[in-house]
Amino acid sequence: MTLFFAILFYVAAAVFVLGLATKIVAFARTPAPLLIPTTPAPTTKGGVVLRMFREVAFFESLFKSNLWIWIFAAAFHFALALVLVRHLRYFTQPVWSWVAFEQPFGMYAGFAMVAGLAGLWARRFLVDRVRYISTLSDHLMLALLLLIGISGLTMKFLVHTDIVGVKMFFLGLMHFDIQPLPADAPLYVHLFCIALLMIVFPFSKLLHAPGVFFSPSRNQVDNARDQRHIASWAAKLEQN
């Protein structure tokens, strides 16, 4: 199993990094010929940066449009951030002091993460019009994330795993020196689902995370009356 997971994580890391880089380059190259910021929109670049910050840090537009979804989405995403920070201890030696300080918050955030996901999934069954537009992939992504959260909480609170062994395995992988992986069912489930998540991430709806930065309706300045908007490729055509 050690070798299986070692190869799986190398493949998953390569697909994740290369897939994400390819998608981000494609997003960056996609022409935005028209000025289409969602109004009311900022009229300066500084204003756009501030708006983008509020969108990414607080999900501002979701808050304004649907408070229920915001509560579940915020619970999931903020908790996920804390959980991921807590996980840095498996990849760093010595563990950074701020990561050590954050440990208890990250641990209980696991529950908020699972509760948020459960709420987001329940909505896809309970709200008629959302159920109608939900596809199999919407359900599978939520199921995968829930399984990761539940298997993680199982290891933390029910069936303990050898976390020093897990750390040795991942530090070893980072130095191309394969160390034995502890043999525990919840750990296998946790790691298998994470590798799967890394592999599907660049081709899934989860791309909304980098995608929000490239959304013309969010990242454009509302200055149509002051300045002529012309895409760089269109400017080149005009010169010729």
CB of 193 to ligand HEM, least distance (A): 8
* Contact present, 35 and 220 (Cβ < 8 Å): yes
Report the alpha-carbon distance of residue 100 to residue 161 in Å, rounded: 19
* Helix boundaries (H) for 34-66: 45-58, 60-65
CB of 152 to ligand HEM, least distance (A): 2
By CB under 6 A, tell whether 37 contacts ligand HEM.
no
Among the listed residues 77, 123, 124, 156, the single contact to ligand HEM using CB under 6 A: 156
Tokens standing for residue 216: 């013309």
Report the alpha-carbon distance of residue 150 to residue 182 in Å, rounded: 19
By CB under 6 A, tell whether 149 contacts ligand HEM.
yes
Q: Which region, judged by CB under 6 A, interacts with ligand HEM, from 45-53, 70-78, 86-94, 204-212? A: 86-94
Give residues 94-113 in contact with ligand HEM (rule: CB under 6 A). Answer: 106-107, 110, 113
Among the listed residues 155, 168, 200, 221, the single contact to ligand HEM using CB under 6 A: 155
CB of 86 to ligand HEM, least distance (A): 5
Say whether 59 sits in a helix, a strand or coil.
coil
By CB under 6 A, tell whether 213 contacts ligand HEM.
no
CB of 210 to ligand HEM, least distance (A): 16
Report the alpha-carbon distance of residue 214 to residue 235 in Å, rounded: 20
CB of 49 to ligand HEM, least distance (A): 28
Report the alpha-carbon distance of residue 222 to residue 143 in Å, rounded: 40
CB of 32 to ligand HEM, least distance (A): 32
Give residues 173-192 in contact with ligand HEM (rule: CB under 6 A). Answer: 190
10 Cβ partners below 8 Å, 6+ apart? 173
Report the alpha-carbon distance of residue 63 to residue 230 in Å, rounded: 32
Place of tokens 């454009």: 220
Give residues 6-35 in contact with ligand HEM (rule: CB under 6 A). Answer: none
For ligand HEM, the closer of residues 48 and 198 by Cβ is 198
Q: What is the 3-state secondary structure (H, E, C) of 116-173?
A: HHHHHHHHHHHCHHHHHHCCHHHHHHHHHHHHHHHHHHHHHHCCCCCHHHHHHHHHHH
By CB under 6 A, tell whether 152 contacts ligand HEM.
yes
Interface ranges with ligand HEM (CB under 6 A): 80, 83, 86-87, 90, 106-107, 110, 113, 145, 148-149, 152-153, 155-156, 160-161, 163, 166, 170, 190, 194
